[in-house]
Amino acid sequence: MFATRCMIPIIKSPKDYQAFRISPNDTNRLAIVFDPTIANASVTLCVEIFDVGGKTPPNRHQFAVEMFFILKGEGLATCDGKTVSIRAGDSLLVPPTGIHEIRNNGAGRLYVLCIMVPNEDFAELIRSGTPVELDEEDSTVLGRRDVLVPC
């Protein structure tokens, strides 16, 4: 039998995403798609946007599993000392306590869908940063207008 409780789905589009740079000198920005305040669950989903040469600082999470799906671009992912090349369509699963970083070594921006479960204060860390605007290139990629074929 189906549960009697029904939740109305939450629909957002790229114009609704809030983007932040966690630290002023960071070379990546995070556009929050869903977080615990929106999803009413301990999950954070964001799109991480890396400028050319951009990277995350090495980091780890005590309890959270973090999954990355490469939307566009190419780079390098390192976890616990092992480095692999990544590009559009690749995915990476980082276990709790895995020390990891992502670096954009491509010619253009790197766009990565990031999902963290449980949230482990990730959304709060992102929102504590400096708000930034998404530019036209970001909006084109996030809206998938970069892959549309004209009729």
Give pLDDT tens digits for 28-81: 999 999 999 888 889 999 999 999 999 999 999 999 999 999 999 999 999 999
Structurally, the chain folds into a number of domains equal to 1
* Alpha helices, H only, 18-149: 36-39, 122-127, 136-142
Residue 2 has pLDDT above 90, yes or no: no
CATH of the domain at 37: 2.60.120.10
Domain annotation covers residue 148: no
Residue 69 maps to a domain: yes
Question: CA angle 79-118-72, nearest 5°?
Answer: 50
10 inside domain: no
Cα distances (Å, whole numbers) of residue 31 to 8, 54, 83, 149: 23, 16, 25, 26
Across the chain, what does the average pLDDT equal?
91
Burial of 11-36, coded b for 16+ CB within 10 Å and e otherwise, reads eeebeebebbbbeeebbbbbbbbbbb
Specify if 15 maps to a domain.
no
Short-list 99, 102, 100, 95, CA closest to 63:
95
